[in-house]
Structures are given as C-alpha cells and as structure tokens.
Amino acid sequence: MITSFTIGGVDQIVPTRRVRFGSLGVTDELNERNTAEFALVDTSGVYRPQVGQVVQIIWQGTTILFGGLVHDFSERIAPGSGVARSFSVQCVDYTILLDRRVINVEYTTLTLHAVVQDLVTTYLAADGVTLDPTMETGPLLEHLVFPDIAISGALNELSELTGFQWYIDYSKVLHVFSQAYFSAPYALNDLAYWRDLEVTRSLGRYRNLQIVRAGDDISDVQTEEFHGDGKQPSFTTSMPVALAPTVRVNAIAKTVGVLNVDSGKDWYWNAGSNQISQEPAAAKLLGSDTLTVLYQGLFPIKNKARAQKAITDRIAVEGFGTGVYEAVEDAQEINRLSLATDKAVGLLRRYAQIPPTLTFTTKQDGYRSGQILSVHLLKHTLTGSYLIQRVEIATLSTTELWYRVECIDGESAAGAVDFFRKLVESGKKFTLRDNEVIDNLMNLDDLVGVTDSLTVSIATGQTGEWGTTPEFDEFGTGEFG
C-alpha cells in the first residue's frame, strides 16, 4: 500500500483522503524528466495544490515511488457538486533542478568525477543535491567548455562524450555511472513472472549510409605567397588560420602577434580568420615584395560511411531500388577527421540493423531506465543484454503496483561506446560551427549483418486477474489504504 503521499509536507491520504484511487501513474524514461500524475478530490472547497510544491510518494513504508515538484495542475468544479473540486496534477522529478540552472564554465585536465563534483558543489548543493559517493573516477577529460548551457545539458554532453549515463534520484542524489555498473535487479526469462510480452522490430532510425558533419580539423602546413600594391593593408589566406603562422617578407622572418591583443609586431592574425594584417604604421608592400605565410588552416569535416552488406540485404528484402537509407548527423564537437570516421562507423554499428524492442508487464519492482537487463527468452530466440529505456508504474490494487518495462537490444545501444571512448582520449572542446568550405568525403565498407521481420507482437506469459480497480464517479473518495 502507499503509506505516505505528501504534497507540500501534507499527507493527502491520512487523514485528508484526497487522492483518488487508481489515478496514480509514474513514468521513468531514459534521458528525460521522470513524471507522476494523479487526481485529487477536495470536498471542503478550501484546499488547492500549488505549483512548485514538493511531492513525495512512499510505497509500503520504505520505497520512494516518486519525489519531485508539482509542475502544473488543472482544476474543475462539477455542476451540482457544491464547493467540491477535482484536480488533475502533473509532477516532474528533481531533474528540474538541473534544468533551471545555466552555467558558463571551462574545465581543463580533470576527471569526469571531478567535473561532476564541481557542478554539484558550485551550482546544486544549495538546492540539496548531493553526488553519489560511489561514483567511479571516470576518464580524464582534457578540455571542456560549457557556454551558457543548463546543467542537465552539460551532463548530457558528458554522457555522449564518455558513454556514462546519469540520473537524479527521488532523494536528490545525482548518479553518474557506466552501464556495466547498473544492472537490473532481475533477469527476464521464460520462467520469470511477466505478462503481455511484445517483441517489436521496426525500421525506425535505421540507416546504412551515414554522413557526419563535424567541426573543424587542422590541416598540414600550408605555404602561400602574396604581392603588394603599395596600398593593401592585409592579405587573405585560402583557409582560416588555426595556429600562429610564420610570416616572411622577401625571405626575412617577421614578428607576428594577435590582432587587437598584441602591439609592436610586424604582422597580426586571429584564430579562425583568413586575414593576415600588416602593422598600420609600416610601409605597405610593393608589387616587387613577396609575402610568404606558412600556416595550418581549419577545414570543416564532412565524412561518409557505408554499410554495403546492409544495403545489399535491404535490396534483397525489398526487391527493388538502391536499398540505401541515408542519414546526416551533426557533431560540431568533433575536431578530428579520424574521430568523424569513428562516429560514422559507430552509428552504423548501432543503426544499420533492426534490433528487437521488448516490452513486458511485471509486478517485480526495482526496474528503472538506464539499467542493463539480462534476457533469456528461448521461446522467442532472444538472448543477451538489453537497455531499459522506459518504465511506467501504476497502481494495480490497493496493495500492488504494475510496471510496464520497455528495453532495446543492448548490443546495438552500445554500438557507439568505442567511439565515445576515443573521443574522450582525444580531448574535446565544445565550439560553435563555422561555415562549411570543404567537404572531405570518405567511403567505408562496414560489414553489418541484417535480419529482420518488421513487426512481431506476441502476448504470452502467466495469465489471470491481478486485481480489480473499483469504479468511481468524478468525486469518488476511494483511498489507497
């Protein structure tokens, strides 16, 4: 039974009995806010919940079923009901505390743990958020820039960067973890207690030709020569300059500084600019003078990977056409051509196949999104590790809950983990994307086997009634217990 259901510190079951029986629903979805919704009835005409009030729901005295804040609610008074009001209430979990704080911060050469700890200490501790004391050290991060981004967005960036997942629990504890350390409490097999199993296969996000539009890589040393006209104050290189250039006039080395920062130099430059500017007071170059600029330029990365076997298999299944399913991914944070290649291949490893999605109902508690579920369903020829994406919780009776669990093949979900690790090892700086000038296309053949049937929906498992839910009129006063 639900032994405590408080809003703003006031129990809504004992003695008020405002919570309508059977109205509670909790949704836990990976990388999204957890939500709860329920209905209240107040016959006094006095009570009204408030947006932002703390909500805590405890099941059977020990399990926190939900913790968060009232996000919004609607209110109705039915004709002929006097002053009695009904409320439909929607709540969000403590992820909202991470959504509402915007940071502008830079980190250099820190571990993942150190970065997350600083975010908690500096921005979240005042709201009662703490960091899981068992968090792993995680990888060393060379360079991170979070420019005007919500803390939840920064954690999502770190998740993409490292492969670690995160969530904040109903006691305001922030958890950041590798998937290997977050297993579901039960396995799913032919003997486990479940019902209404559905196995679905869909084209969904399928692709077999992947384009990655990345950031800017640094070229090899370029050498360009220019001649003056006695008036020209600056010269334009073919590519934006990435690093401090070497400048010579008539083979004589000249001093170089940063434009609008340094002074007293012969020539000036700015990172990302094509302009090499002469000191304004200096005599301008003539047509007989030769300006030589040696520099490394920036070029935008655009890479392509192809899963040829997957394309061939699509042609065989569909019986016509090219079999090509093409997708474009923006990854401005990547500044190496090799990493763009790794990402394109990693995405194909994940999406150039049609993995099964499992959905089932159970009364076993302890499931939550992000967990790795061990699956051994011999009747469906399914075995392996699956990633739980979504858990829906609802009241089955006054003493029971049901859980609707959705998970995907963990092998495909983890297809880009190797890429994430390489990205971490390379160091990363989040930057804005410049205009594309150069397309650097690489064609790769990546052998990916594909077998699929588009949709299989199977209802099986134990049967029988799990309990009944009494019917109520709009202002029914049934309680949870």
Tell whether the torsion through CA atoms of 64, 70, 74 and 80 is positive or negative.
Answer: positive
Q: How far is CA 131 from CA 76, 109, 124, 127, 367, in A?
A: 41, 20, 10, 12, 21
Task: Give mean pLDDT, residues 296-321.
Answer: 90
Which stretches within 26-127 are classed as H helix? 95-99, 112-119
Q: How confident is the model at residue 43 (pLDDT cuts 50, 70, 90)?
A: confident
Residue 175's pLDDT is: 92
Average pLDDT on 129-155 reads: 90
Q: Which residue has the higher pLDDT, 342 or 428?
A: 342
CA separation, residue 152 to residues 31, 95, 173, 383 (Å): 9, 7, 14, 34
Rounded CA separation 162/289 (Å): 52
Q: Tokens standing for 258?
A: 């940063």
What would the mean pLDDT of 379-387 be, rounded to a whole number? 86
Determine the average pLDDT of the residues in 283-288.
Answer: 94
What is the per-residue pLDDT for 325?
93
- Answer whether residue 436 shows pLDDT above 80: no
In this prediction, residues 428-444 reach a mean pLDDT of: 37
Under the banding of pLDDT at 50, 70 and 90, the label for residue 420 is: very low
pLDDT value at 477 more than 60? no
pLDDT band for position 397 (cuts 50, 70, 90): low
pLDDT tens digits, 208-251: 999 998 888 888 999 999 999 999 999 999 999 999 999 999 99
pLDDT at 346 > cutoff 70: yes
The CATH T-level fold of domain 100-174 is Phage tail protein beta-alpha-beta fold (3.55.50)
Query: Hey, do 2-93 and 100-174 end up sharing a CATH topology, with the first three levels equal?
Result: no
Q: What is the pTM of this model?
A: 0.65
Q: Side-chain half-sphere of 78: how many Cα atoms within 13 Å?
A: 12
Tell me whether strands 85-93 and 35-42 are parallel, antiparallel or unpaired: antiparallel
Superfamily of domain 2-93: Baseplate protein-like domain - beta roll fold (2.30.300.10)
Q: Which residues contact 366 (CB under 8 A, 6 or more apart)?
A: 184, 185, 186
For 362-382, the pLDDT digits (tens) are 988 889 888 888 899 888 888
- Domain limits of the chain? 2-93, 100-174
Asked if the model's pLDDT at residue 82 lies above 60, the reply is: yes
